[in-house]
Structure 1
Amino acid sequence: MTSAVDVVVVGGGQAGLAAGHHLRRQGLDFVILDADAAPGGSWQHMWDSLHLFSPAEHSSLPGRLMPAQPGEAYPDAGHVVDYLADYEKRYNLSVQHGTRVDAVRRNAGQLMVEADTGTWRARAVISATGTWSRPFLPATPGREVFTGRQLHTVNYRSPADFAGQRVIVVGGGNSGAQIAADLTLDGHVNVTWVTQRPPRFLPDDIDGRALFDVATARRRALEEGRSDTGGVASLGDIVAVPPVRSARDAGLLSVRPMFTRLTADGVRWDDGSHSGADAVVWCTGFRPALAHLAPLNLRGPRGHIPTDGTRVLGEPHLHLLGYGDWTGPASATLIGVGRPAREAAHQIARQLST
């Protein structure tokens, strides 16, 4: 069965919902196809202790403030899921959950979106699939011989899964620091935190509000032809959220340089010494989930798809939304995705009216 709409949005997380909000305001006919069976995007898959970097009022999608969570200065992931589910319902966004998009192809000047529930003919497509479904694992020597448990950030839930075990946490970003803190503060896990370079903590008074302001200032500087301020990366890599501060200040977040290889029962360090391990948690980041766009042959050097803002240069009827600074400053955040979503919807509306 083939259906026709003005716009197909691929992905029903925060970016897809922000896009839907602005497409509705432009009076466009659209559908949002989301692989998850329930609302909430990637937030429904986060680890148990995760909290936002920012207060609720600074973590909102366009048109609807996130309500505060009672007893929590920084809302947890479950609160975000509830907010996104309410947002989807409040604006009556056309989300089809449990629908996986396999491919987007060109056909007679339009785009055909092939999903496991049918095919959609669209005059424009917004890809908002994010990165959570595409975890990155580095090609580390010995990874295939290690007999313990290996998991990525996407699979981590709580310290209870590792009670009494020796766990190595790999990664010097926010997820690495937060998971290492979560495990060490539990007190029942022997944790070793390893990073490629010494971890860079942002000042303790910096949270998501300040980070959004820094990212916005960088965007304005670049738009006005001024020097690149460096954005958030110039300040550090790790937001010192309360659990991270607690573990750090208690001396529990000591860090070691990256090991040289995995062995059957642990890791080998640069000095030749060996440490046993029962599990390794790879907090090594993600890549954009864009396999559904492969039939369009858009990737340039190093696999990058060139864009002007959110619009893909090689396919003007396609927009990418919510993949970080690549497609808009802070666009991978709740508060940051609103502006590029609005710009994408406006561009599409102008394009379809001609």
Structure 2
Amino acid sequence: MTHTSQVVVIGGGQAGLAAGYHLRRLGIDFVILDAQTTPGGAWQHAWDSLRLFSPAAYSSLPGRLMPQQPGEPYPDVQHVVQYLADYEKRYELPVERPVGVLGVHRDGQHLRVETDSGTWHARAVISATGTWWRPFLPAVPGRADFEGRQLHTVEYGTSNDFSGQRVVVVGGGNSAAQIAADLAYDTQLTWVTQRPPRYLADDIDGRALFDTATARRRALDEGRTDTGGVASLGDIVAVPPVREARDRGLLKASPMFSRLVPGGVEWADGTRAETDAIIWCTGFRPTLSHLAPLQLRGLRGHIATEGTRAVDEPRLHLLGYGDWTGPASATLIGVGRPAREAAREISALLTAGTT
């Protein structure tokens, strides 16, 4: 089956919905193709105890504030999923699901989007697939020899799955800290980081991080000195569960081990820790395989962009993958501004094509 739309948005999570909001406001014909069976994007697959590191009011998509969650200063996963579902319904965003996008191709004046349920022809495409679907595992010696359980952040569900076990959590970011705090009470926890954990001040949350990221981008755009952005403040937001575990002395980080052995992990000095499970909180890479037919990737797989627009394919915009597609664009509060800019550029492109 073949379809035609002015714009195809690939991905129905927070970035795709923000794009849809601004496209709708500009009166542009569009469709959102989402591989998930239900609303909520990657949030519906996150671990049970995950908390946003911003209050609800500072975790909102354009046009609609996230409501406060009763009794929770930092909303949980289910609250976010419900908010995204309500947002999609409120603005009557045209989401088709489940639709898996196989590839985006050049086709004359159009981009051809091949999917597992038909073909779409569009004047422009916004890729908003995020990073959750492409977890990164570092190349650590002995990883194949370890006889226990290994999983990535994306596979973690609840601390009950590890009750009484010896668990190693690897990583120095927010996910690692929250999962380590979740496990600290009922497991024999070893938390390892490349460098000592850097907590942000307890009164700093996502709003301050967004402001900092935006100020850095403005400074770079104006040729001023790099402020260092969010990285200059620290790596971990001390949401209440993390703060409590830290203050009780339960989050003591060890240096990164040098290798895995069949029964656990080993440091350079020969010290070992017997381990039942290792949880790799080691980040993600952009999910961009559907763009491979366009042959846009340069060194290290990076697609060059100006703002959100692909330099070598002006009909393509990338949204929500990180600072390279807009300051804090991988966050709920941060994706609205680059989504607006992408929609405006696409509107200008469509207008130019009709004159």
Instruction: Write out per-residue CA displacement over residues 131-151 of structure 1, whole angstroms, 9 at most, x where no aligned residue.
Output: 000000001111111111100
CA distance, structure 2, for counterparts of residue 264 and residue 67 of structure 1: 48
Q: CA deviation at 1:224?
A: 2.4
Q: CA deviation at 1:109?
A: 2.3
SS in 1 for 2:167: strand
**Corresponding position of 2:279:** 281
**Corresponding position of 2:47:** 47
**Corresponding position of 1:293:** 291
SS in 2 for 1:168: strand
CA distance, structure 2, for counterparts of residue 171 and residue 188 of structure 1: 20
**Corresponding position of 1:212:** 210
Give the alignment of 1:1-354 within 5 angstroms: 1-184=1-184, 187-354=185-352
TM-score, reference length from structure 2: 0.98
**Displaced runs of 4 or more, over 4 A:** none
SS in 2 for 1:192: strand
CA distance, structure 2, for counterparts of residue 101 and residue 162 of structure 1: 36
Q: Does 257-266 or 325-334 show the bigger shift?
A: 257-266
CA distance, structure 2, for counterparts of residue 44 and residue 97 of structure 1: 15
Q: Which residue identity lines up with residue 128 of structure 1 in the other structure?
A: A
Q: CA deviation at 1:273?
A: 2.0
Instruction: Write out per-residue CA displacement over residues 70-110 of structure 1, whole angstroms, 9 at most, x where no aligned residue.
Output: 11111111001000000000101011121111100111121
CA distance, structure 1, for counterparts of residue 334 and residue 30 of structure 2: 22
SS in 2 for 1:316: strand
CA contact (8 A) 2:74 2:239 kept: no
SS in 2 for 1:3: strand
TM-score, reference length from structure 1: 0.98
Q: Which residue identity lines up with residue 28 of structure 1 in the other structure?
A: I
CA distance, structure 2, for counterparts of residue 268 and residue 71 of structure 1: 42
Identity over aligned residues, as a percent? 72
SS in 2 for 1:9: strand
Q: Which residue identity lines up with residue 217 of structure 1 in the other structure?
A: A
Instruction: Write out per-residue CA displacement over residues 277-314 of structure 1, whole angstroms, 9 at most, x where no aligned residue.
Output: 00000000000000000011101111110000000001
CA distance, structure 2, for counterparts of residue 271 and residue 223 of structure 1: 46
CA distance, structure 1, for counterparts of residue 41 and residue 168 of structure 2: 28
SS in 2 for 1:332: coil
Q: Which residue identity lines up with residue 129 of structure 1 in the other structure?
A: T
Q: CA deviation at 1:227?
A: 1.2
Instruction: Write out per-residue CA displacement over residues 242-301 of structure 1, whole angstroms, 9 at most, x where no aligned residue.
Output: 111111111111111111111111111111122110000000000000000001110111
Q: CA deviation at 1:188?
A: 1.8
Q: Which residue identity lines up with residue 262 of structure 1 in the other structure?
A: L
Q: CA deviation at 1:223?
A: 2.5
Q: Which residue identity lines up with residue 166 of structure 1 in the other structure?
A: R
CA distance, structure 1, for counterparts of residue 59 and residue 7 of structure 2: 26
Instruction: Write out per-residue CA displacement over residues 110-148 of structure 1, whole angstroms, 9 at most, x where no aligned residue.
Output: 111011111100100000000000000001111111111
Q: Does 223-232 or 147-156 show the bigger shift?
A: 223-232
CA distance, structure 1, for counterparts of residue 76 and residue 273 of structure 2: 34
Q: Which residue identity lines up with residue 34 of structure 2 in the other structure?
A: D
Q: Which residue identity lines up with residue 317 of structure 1 in the other structure?
A: R
Q: How many residues align?
A: 352
Instruction: Write out per-residue CA displacement over residues 174-232 of structure 1, whole angstroms, 9 at most, x where no aligned residue.
Output: 11111111100xx2211000011111111111111111111121122222222111110
Cα RMSD of the aligned pairs, angstroms, is 0.8
Q: Which residue identity lines up with residue 212 of structure 2 in the other structure?
A: V
SS in 2 for 1:236: coil
Q: Which residue identity lines up with residue 18 of structure 2 in the other structure?
A: A
